[in-house]
Amino acid sequence: MIEALTRRYLHTVDGALPGYVRALYVVGSAALGAWQPGASDVDTVILTSRPPTRDDLTQLARIHAGMPRSPHFDGVYLEPALSRSWPADGRAVPFVVDGEFRTDTPCGELNPVLWLTLQRHGIPARGPSVAELGVRVDPEQLRRYNLDNLRAYWQPGVATLPAQLAGVAPDTPMDGEVVSWFVLGPARLHYTLGHGDVIAKAAAGEYLASLFPEYADLARRAVGWRAGGSERFTAADLLAAADSVNAVADDAWRHFGD
């Protein structure tokens, strides 16, 4: 599926914009060996031969609109100057998230974790080996990004859950995707802070269990749900997931913060 989708994209873009895409690298779960049908998208870094013209952007929008809706074929486009500097400031560049092509909004995918994933695990579908790209990852920038993401994104994301669930019965069913997102996401950032590498969500479950054994069962079930298992989650699980977010974030700041 990953190779077929990538070939389809390259065939289409080469027909519409000959010579425009000079290199493409698969990153994300596929590069980490953890791609799961029905749960994972195909994430890429796409290097172009020139800055995009208005016609280029129109053609790219048409191409991505014609790609399958599942799995999504996502990616970040880098013109030559940017593929030499590897910016991690979230600037506006052409990118695709959840299958939607965007050009005029900040690209949150443009961050140090993306370049670390490309540097350590990227798979070339076109172009030279990753080692030849000269991908640079600033350790301090990487540290600060992960810490700030835990505090500014993940913790606020669960801050209101106790109030929202105050009148909800503990055994009320909850969305497995939401629970798994909170259980597994922050642990990945903590791992990167401690080990300087990137892990997939399945490995993040094991890592969370090793850090905080009290969440081991919840982590196991979250990983099982992502793998297509029959796990079910409740309001009590969602509250426990919120607690795990705060536990991971606070521990990260205690050990790796300023």
pTM above 0.85, yes or no: yes
Return the pLDDT at 164.
Answer: 96
* Structural domain of 115: 2-133
| Segment among 36-40, 98-102, 112-116, 154-158 with least mean pLDDT | 36-40
Residues 111 and 154 in one domain: no
Query: With helix as H, strand as E and coil as C, how does the chain read?
Result: CHHHHHHHHHHHHHHHCCCCEEEEEEEHHHHCCCCCCCCCCEEEEEEECCCCCHHHHHHHHHHHHCCCCCCCEEEEEECCCHHHHCCCCCCCCCEEECCEEECCCCCCCCCHHHHHHHHHHCEEEECCCHHHHCCCCCHHHHHHHHHHHHHHHHHHHHHCHHHHCCCCCCCCEECHHHHHHHHHHHHHHHHHHHHCCCCCHHHHHHHHHHHCHHHHHHHHHHHHHHCCCCCCEEHHHHHHHHHHHHHHHHHHHHHHCC
Q: How many domains does the chain have?
A: 2
Tell me which of 133, 149, 172 is where a domain ends: 133
**pLDDT tens-digit map of 110-126:** 999 999 999 999 999 99
- The pLDDT value given to residue 1: 78
pLDDT digits (tens, 9 = 90+) for 20-74: 999 999 998 888 887 777 767 899 999 999 999 999 999 999 999 999 988 999 9
pLDDT value of position 258 = 80
Residues 164, 123, single domain; the answer is: no
Residue 37: what pLDDT? 73
- Say yes or no: 250 and 190 in one domain: yes
Q: Are residues 172 and 126 in the same domain?
A: no
